[in-house]
Structures are given as structure tokens and as C-alpha cells.
């Protein structure tokens, strides 16, 4: 049994690899987050055991089938309140399963296919779900956003996939000197000592940006495609309604949903939230930066 520890968003994660032939090579994006020193008595946010040949054959009730980036997730509730999740790739081939307790503190991942690419998909997504749902009550959210850093602050751009958030952060990078990309798909936002902090993570979509860095949140911007560039600050209630769909959550699970809602409310109290209607051009980036920047 190989035991590895990682720190993501300030939280300690523990992964146990049951089979030496199935290990860290499946999650190269985690290398910047690995811990080499002993963790002493610190309790991990969750422990995830990789058991390639494990099969759960107990009772389960279907919650629903959910799509994410072309992949399908079948979610089932277990008699003890835990979860059984089946993961299928865009070809609708079932690749593996995640079994978790109610709090997502103890999880088991298994594989149904031999291909490394599909096994990596299962393990990465299992870790992302375990993180999001275990941290829900710890003032931590995993947010679907692209994050650009400028003058020590992280600025989050949120939008549905394909709307242009990555394009907009690239326009900042290209046209506003001194910017760097923190994460391009799934950063962590956490309340630390009353302040929202943005963290890079091992999950960054199609852009390989796996940076173990952090910064105070400067602002959050909801991107919309428009025929002209315009920006406005959103009211708190509207901000919450726009940010909830951008987080990894489970609406049917009261613990997870309320924890994430409370964290977003705390973020909104401290950070300005904007809506940017824009074209994919340099003027949009400059307008956004001049409006939302922290000085």
C-alpha cells in the first residue's frame, strides 16, 4: 500500500494506492501539490483509496444522471447516506466508480477499464468530487472559473463552458502588463481569517496550469457575450444566483448545498461581483480591468 499526501487550497489530502502498479502516474497534475514532509497528527480533509478491482454490489437508489463536459455521472444514494457514483466517458463507456461515505471523508475508487487515459479520468474526477463535497462545510468552494493574477490579486472569470472566460483571461494576459494565469477551470476559493483567498489546483480543464499558488480575491466577473462592451456591479442576491451554478455542488444534499451557499454569501460580503457583457477584444479586457481592479 502506497500512501501519498497532498495539500490543495490549504487542505490536506490523503491517497492510498492499494496496487503498486496503479499509482501517481495517473495524476501528474498533483505533483506540484505533493508533500514530502511528515504530516504528524493533522487529519486529512479526506482519504481516498484506489482499489482497481473493487466492486460494490450493495443496495443503492438512483438520484440522477448528470452531464459534465461530455462525461456522464450516475449518482446513487446508499442506505447509510453515502454515495455510489458511476463515471462514463463521452463515448458512453463506463470507466469506473466512486464509493463515499455521507461526508466524503472516506472514499474508494475502482476502475472498469484498463486504459490509462480512462483510469486517469476516473481518478481525477473522483478526487475533484471528494474535495468539493468534503470541504463544503469548511468555507471552501471549488469554482468553475478562469483566474488571472494582477498586482497580487486574483480575478475570477466565470461563465458556462464555451462562453469565453478563458478567452477573456488571455486578453488580460496579452494586453495588460504584469498578469499571469493562476488556473483556467477549477480554482478553489476559501475564506481564511475572514478574507476570500483564491488557490491554484490540480484541476485546470484543457489548459495545463497546475500551480500551487494563492492570492486574495480581487473581484469575480460573470462573462456574457454581447455586441458591445459594458460592465456593471451586481447586487448581492443576483450575485448569489449567478455564482451558485458555477460551483461544484449537489442541490439534493442539504449539507453540501447549504455549506456552499453560506461560503458564497461570505465571499459576496467581501468581494465585488460584476457582470461583463463583451466582445472578444482588447477593449473588453481593458474596460474590465479598469473597473474591477483593486488599488
Three-class SS of the chain: CEEEEEEECCEEEEEEECCCCCCHHHCHHHHHHECCCCCCCCCCCEEEEECCCCCCCCCCEEEEEEEECCEEEEEEECCCCCEEEEEECCCCCEEEEEEECCCCCEEEEEECCCCHHHHHHHHHHHHHHHHHHHCCCCCEEEECCEEEEECCEEEEEECCCCCCHHHHHHHHHHHCCCEEEEECCCCEEEEECCEEEEECCCCCCCCCCCCCCEEEEEEEEEEEECCCCEEEECCHHHHHHHHHHHECCCCCCHHHHHHHHHHHHHHHHHCCEEEEEECCCHHHHHHHHHHHCCC
Same domain, 122 and 174: no
Same domain, 92 and 205: no
Q: Among residues 81, 103, 134, which one ends one of the domains? A: 134
- pLDDT tens digits, the chain, 295 residues: what are they? 889 999 999 999 999 999 866 788 999 999 999 998 877 889 999 999 999 999 999 999 999 999 877 889 999 999 999 999 999 988 888 999 999 999 999 999 999 999 999 999 999 999 999 999 999 999 999 999 999 999 999 999 998 877 889 999 999 999 999 999 999 999 999 999 999 999 999 999 889 999 999 999 999 999 999 999 999 999 999 999 999 999 988 989 999 999 999 999 999 999 999 999 999 999 999 999 999 998 7
Q: Among residues 108, 134, 160, which one ends one of the domains? A: 134
Same domain, 149 and 130: no
Q: Among residues 134, 161, 193, which one ends one of the domains? A: 134
Query: How much is the pTM?
Result: 0.94
Same domain, 67 and 150: no
- Number of structural domains (the chain) is 2
Which domain covers residue 179, as residue numbers? 140-292
Amino acid at each position: 500500500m502506497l500512501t501519498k499526501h497532498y495539500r490543495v487550497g490549504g487542505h490536506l489530502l490523503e491517497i492510498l494506492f492499494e496496487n503498486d502498479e496503479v499509482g501517481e502516474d495517473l495524476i501528474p497534475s498533483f505533483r506540484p501539490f505533493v508533500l514530502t514532509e511528515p504530516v504528524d497528527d493533522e487529519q486529512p480533509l479526506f482519504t481516498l483509496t484506489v482499489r482497481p478491482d473493487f466492486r460494490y454490489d450493495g443496495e443503492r437508489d438512483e438520484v440522477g444522471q448528470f452531464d459534465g463536459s461530455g462525461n456522464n455521472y450516475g449518482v446513487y444514494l446508499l442506505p447509510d447516506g453515502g454515495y455510489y457514483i458511476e463515471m462514463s466517458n463521452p463515448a458512453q463507456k463506463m470507466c469506473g466508480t466512486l464509493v463515499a461515505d455521507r461526508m466524503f471523508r472516506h472514499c474508494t475508487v475502482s476502475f472498469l477499464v484498463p486504459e490509462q487515459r480512462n483510469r486517469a479520468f476516473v481518478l481525477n474526477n473522483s478526487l475533484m468530487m471528494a474535495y468539493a463535497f468534503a470541504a463544503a462545510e469548511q468555507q471552501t468552494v471549488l469554482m468553475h472559473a478562469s483566474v488571472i493574477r494582477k498586482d497580487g490579486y486574483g480575478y475570477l472569470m466565470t461563465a458556462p463552458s464555451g462562453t469565453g472566460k478563458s478567452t477573456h483571461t488571455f486578453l488580460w494576459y496579452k494586453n495588460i502588463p504584469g498578469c499571469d494565469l493562476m488556473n483556467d477551470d477549477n480554482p478553489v476559493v476559501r475564506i481564511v481569517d475572514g478574507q476570500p483567498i483564491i488557490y491554484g489546483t490540480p484541476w485546470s480543464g484543457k489548459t495545463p496550469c497546475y500551480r500551487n499558488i494563492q492570492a486574495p480575491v480581487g473581484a469575480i466577473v460573470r462573462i456574457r457575450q454581447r455586441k458591445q462592451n459594458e460592465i456593471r456591479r451586481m447586487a448581492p442576491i443576483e450575485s448569489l444566483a449567478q455564482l451558485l451554478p458555477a460551483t461544484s455542488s449537489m442541490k439534493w444534499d442539504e449539507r453540501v448545498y447549504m455549506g456552499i451557499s453560506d461560503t458564497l454569501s461570505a465571499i459576496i460580503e467581501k468581494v465585488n461581483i460584476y457582470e461583463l457583457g463583451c466582445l472578444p477584444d482588447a477593449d473588453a479586457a481593458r474596460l474590465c480591468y479598469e473597473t474591477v481592479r483593486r488599488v
